[in-house]
C-alpha cells in the first residue's frame, strides 16, 4: 500500500521514470474509482499525468485514451482562464500523440482547438506548424512559424524549422 500514489507518480515523473509513474497514477485512479474522494478536476489531472507518462513512453494509443478522459472531466467553462489553459495543454499533448500515430486530421483538429483556447501560446503554433508540415501543407506551416517567431523571437528551433520548411517548399 502506497500512502500517496499521486505524489509518488509526480516524483517518478520528475525523475523521468515514466514506467513507475504510470503504475503510481494507475493505482491512484483505481483507488479513486473504488472510493471516490476527488473532484472532476482532480481526476482529470490524474488522467492527464498518466497520459503524459504514457506519451513519454511512446504508448500513444493509451495516452490518447487518458487525454480524452482528462478532457471529459475538465471544466468546459470558457470564461475561466485556468480551464482554457488546462484544456489547451491536454489538447496539445493529445495532438502530439495523434501525430505520432499518423492520424493527421485528429492531430490538426486538436491543435486548432488548443490555439482557439490559448492563442497567445507560441508552442501551440509551433506544434501546428509541425502537424501541417507532416501533412505537406508548407505555406500554412510557414504562416504559423512566422506567428510563433513573432511571439517568441529567441526560439532557435523556430528559425531553423522555418528555414527547412522554406527550402522544402522551394524544392517542390
Model confidence pLDDT, tens digit, residues 39-61: 898 999 999 999 999 999 999 99
The answer on pLDDT for 5 being more than 80 is yes
The angle subtended at Cα 137 by Cα 132 and Cα 141, nearest 5°, is: 55
Instruction: Find the Cα–Cα–Cα–Cα dihedral 131, 135, 137, 141, rounded to 10°.
Output: 10
The pLDDT score that the predictor gives to residue 159 is: 92
56's CB contacts (< 8 A; 6+ apart) are 16, 18
pTM of the shown model: 0.90
Amino acid at each position: 500500500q502506497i500512502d500517496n500514489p499521486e505524489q509518488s507518480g509526480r516524483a517518478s515523473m520528475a525523475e523521468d521514470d515514466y514506467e513507475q509513474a504510470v503504475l503510481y497514477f494507475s493505482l491512484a485512479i483505481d483507488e479513486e474509482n473504488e472510493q471516490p474522494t476527488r473532484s472532476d478536476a482532480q481526476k482529470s489531472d490524474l488522467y492527464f499525468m498518466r497520459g503524459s507518462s504514457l506519451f513519454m513512453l511512446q504508448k500513444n494509443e493509451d495516452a490518447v485514451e487518458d487525454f480524452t478522459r482528462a478532457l471529459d472531466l475538465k471544466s468546459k467553462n470558457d470564461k475561466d482562464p485556468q480551464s482554457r489553459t488546462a484544456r489547451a495543454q491536454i489538447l496539445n499533448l493529445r495532438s502530439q500523440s495523434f501525430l505520432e500515430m499518423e492520424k493527421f486530421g485528429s492531430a490538426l483538429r486538436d491543435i486548432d482547438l488548443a490555439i482557439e483556447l490559448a492563442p497567445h501560446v507560441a508552442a501551440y503554433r509551433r506544434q501546428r506548424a509541425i502537424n501541417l508540415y507532416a501533412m505537406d501543407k508548407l505555406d500554412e506551416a510557414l504562416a504559423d512559424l512566422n506567428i510563433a517567431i513573432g511571439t517568441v523571437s529567441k526560439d532557435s528551433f523556430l528559425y531553423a524549422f522555418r528555414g527547412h520548411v522554406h527550402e522544402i517548399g522551394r524544392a517542390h
